[in-house]
Amino acid sequence: MNEFKKQVVVDITESQTIVELSYLLQTYDAEIFILNHSKNHVQEINPKSILGLATLQLKNGTEITVRAEGNDAEEAVMEVVKFLQSAKNND
pLDDT, one tens digit for every residue, the chain (91 residues): 799 999 999 999 888 888 899 999 999 999 999 999 877 778 999 999 988 888 887 889 989 999 999 999 999 999 999 999 987 766 5
Rounded Cα distance between 69 and 88, Å, is 26
pLDDT score for 22:
93
pLDDT score for 29:
97
CA pseudo-torsion sign 86, 81, 73, 28: negative
| Ordered domains of the chain (ranges, CATH) | 3-89 (3.30.1340.10)
Rounded Cα distance between 55 and 90, Å, is 27
pLDDT score for 90:
63
Rounded Cα distance between 79 and 90, Å, is 16
pLDDT score for 83:
95
